[in-house]
Amino acid sequence: MSEWDGATVGLVLVGCSIIAAGLIIAAMILGILHSSTQFLLLTTIMLVVMGAVLILYIDRKSGTGS
């Protein structure tokens, strides 16, 4: 297996955060979560943004961006 670079970590962070947000929304629809739902969604949104910023930073740093 090759080394993990920053872009790969960012992609994993974004993907896992989107999956977590989907699970939280599904739990909201089913009525399971009530008090901590807003905090969990805010956390997953922050993780998606952090992962996207990391991917963009690595892309610009390596010079492969358009």
Q: Which residue's structure tokens are 């989907």?
A: 22
Q: CB neighbours (10 Å) of residue 2?
A: 5
pTM assigned to the model: 0.74
What is the per-residue pLDDT for 1? Answer: 53
**pLDDT, tens digit (0-9, with 9 covering 90-100), for 5-64:** 777 888 888 899 999 989 888 888 888 877 888 888 898 899 889 888 888 888 888 876
Looking at residue 13, what is its pLDDT? Answer: 87
